[in-house]
Amino acid sequence: MRLMFVYWQPENAGSAQDILNYSRVAPELGHEVVLYAPPTPGSRYPCSLDINSADAVVFVFEWNLYEHPGGDKKKDPPPRGGLMGIGHLNVVKVIGRVPRERRVLIDCDGMYNDATHVGGDYNHPDAQASRRRIELCDSLTDTILQPTPRPLRPNVRPFLFHGYDPGWERPLDAAGKEFGMVYVGSNWFRWRPLRRVLGAVEPIRDEVGRIALVGHDWAAMPWWIESPFREAAYFTDPEYLKALGVEVRPPVPVEQVIPLMSRGVFNPVLIRPLFAHLGLVTCRTFETPAANTIPVFDQTEEYVRGIYGERGAELVLGEDPTRRIRDVLRRPGHYVEVVRDVRRHLGERHSFASRLRELVRIVGG
């Protein structure tokens, strides 16, 4: 089967990396995965505009359907026009040439839901915005997937989409670390979970050592984003970070994420409040355990067991996150063995090959 993904194609984006991994494992399973885009010399992505050759089309939807997100708006290229940066006419072409039953939509951000507000986070500002997104999705396909084991709407199927590659794994060794804690990820509705972890660090600050925070918009809120969205999505407290001795660093290319995480004894896995409420997974859900570090989870034990297996519960921060972090620092050898078991579980249950097999089954009906 030839699957054609429709996505906005920035090569450093998490979902783009997932599509790249699908394309890598597809030939081993007798399939082909391409991105709907003009072929680009030097690109790692297999690209094609030959929509007639596709057996099925997979739309990957995130919040930013009509713009090209990026870091410094003063330097980035202007937003590309049209839906997902490919233009409305190209979307019409896809719809006209691929039967509806062979179109699938993956709703990565839980926006195919009613307007939901939780912990200062939300998927839509109001009911009207929710209706617009739902109507758009329904106009494209009857097959809506979300990367959560428990979708809220009855017509949505669970499909975790993001996956784990054992080839990412770095040898585990907790000794000789440059940092006690590292977090790599941009500030996008993540201040509250980060603040909870840092609050747990405060009583044992001297034991933790250096802390690195790497990503967009931690040093300051982006001035070009209008209020109140700026404060909701990008709130940060530079003075607090400075007082705690947190080293705020700019984002790094995707190929440096796992090596950078590997420089810390532990890395928190942070999920924005909306995603925690909906049970959504992200690419970082699966990347952190592959690094030479000890992941600690600020999610419920039920959620962690469902993704990482039974031993993953030993890495949950829980009601006393300071105690868990101190134990990780004092008994890193024990937690390294926990991570080994978590890796085995992820490799067996969440590989990209297993994901692609599941997606082919869904498309094939």
**Per-residue pLDDT tens digits for 37-51:** 888 888 888 999 999
Percent of the chain with pLDDT over 70: 91
Q: Are residues 129 and 89 in the same domain?
A: yes
User: In angstroms, how far is CA 151 from the centroid of its own chain?
Assistant: 17
The two tokens of residue 289 are 């355990």
351, 21 contact by CB (below 8 A):
no
Q: Are residues 246 and 155 in the same domain?
A: no
The CATH number covering residue 124 comes to 3.40.50
Q: Are residues 257 and 326 in the same domain?
A: yes
What is the extent of the structural domain holding 62? 2-160+351-364
Q: Are residues 154 and 12 in the same domain?
A: yes
Q: Are residues 222 and 233 in the same domain?
A: yes
Q: Give the mean model confidence (pLDDT) for residues 305-324.
A: 97
Q: Are residues 130 and 174 in the same domain?
A: no
Looking at residue 296, its amino acid is: V
Is the pLDDT at 32 greater than 80? The verdict is yes
Write out the H or E segment, with its range, that includes residue 305: helix 301-308
175/64 Cα distance (integer angstroms): 41
Looking at residue 90, its amino acid is: N
Which residues, in sequence order, are CB contacts of 136 under 8 Å at separation 6+?
A: 65
151/112 Cα distance (integer angstroms): 10
The DSSP letter of residue 150 is S
Q: Are residues 136 and 200 in the same domain?
A: no
User: In angstroms, how far is CA 307 from the centroid of its own chain?
Assistant: 14
Q: Are residues 195 and 306 in the same domain?
A: yes
Q: Are residues 11 and 142 in the same domain?
A: yes
Looking at residue 218, its amino acid is: W
Q: Give the mean model confidence (pLDDT) for residues 83-93.
A: 63
Alpha-helix residue ranges (DSSP H) falling in 98-204: 127-140, 191-201
**Per-residue pLDDT tens digits for 90-109:** 677 777 888 999 999 999 99
The DSSP letter of residue 263 is T
Instruction: Identify the residue with better confidence: 16 or 299.
Output: 299
Q: Are residues 151 and 220 in the same domain?
A: no
Is the pLDDT at 74 greater than 70? The verdict is no
Average pLDDT of the chain is 91
Which residues, in sequence order, are CB contacts of 312 under 8 Å at separation 6+?
A: 297, 304, 305, 338, 342, 345
Is the pLDDT at 234 greater than 80? The verdict is yes
362, 104 contact by CB (below 8 A):
yes
Domain count, the chain: 2
Specify the pTM: 0.90
Q: Are residues 15 and 71 in the same domain?
A: yes
Q: At what angle do helices 321-330 and 332-349 cross, to 10 degrees?
A: 100
Please report which confidence band the pLDDT of residue 330 belongs to, taking 50, 70 and 90 as the band edges: very high
268/357 Cα distance (integer angstroms): 30
